[in-house]
Amino acid sequence: MLTVKMSACQNPDFPPRDDLPLPCLVKVGSLDEAARACRRFIEEHDLGGGNYHDAEVFDDSTSERVAMVSYNGRLWTPENDWRKRRPIQA
């Protein structure tokens, strides 16, 4: 089992929003499901790329971060430095 941590922030390029969602955790069964959960989160809360923090995916059995999910739903390796991340094929 995996857990996806999703959150949003104010976009500095637009007026502040008072309706941004609180961070949330969602249990999923696969990386593909994690990516779909993130896209639902984005669509349900009408988030733009500047409002969305890349989601983190954790392996529940080890608590290790195993992937990141970007705004477009792509999966990435979990390095802290985004320039070092590589695509993951789920």
Q: Encode the chain (90 residues) as per-residue pLDDT tens digits.
A: 999 999 999 999 999 999 999 999 999 999 999 999 999 999 999 999 999 999 999 999 999 999 999 999 999 999 999 899 999 987
User: Does residue 79 lie in a domain region?
Assistant: yes
Residue 28 CB-half CA count within 13 A = 20
pLDDT score, position 24: 96
User: Does residue 70 lie in a domain region?
Assistant: yes
| Residue 77 token pair | 């390796």
Report d(CA 78, CA 13) in Å as an integer: 27
Asked if 76 and 50 touch (Cβ cutoff 8 Å), the reply is no
User: Does residue 58 lie in a domain region?
Assistant: yes
pLDDT score, position 90: 72
In the block, which residue shows the tokens 């696969």? 30
In the block, which residue shows the tokens 């890349």? 54
User: Does residue 90 lie in a domain region?
Assistant: no
Q: How many domains does the chain have?
A: 1
pTM, full prediction = 0.92
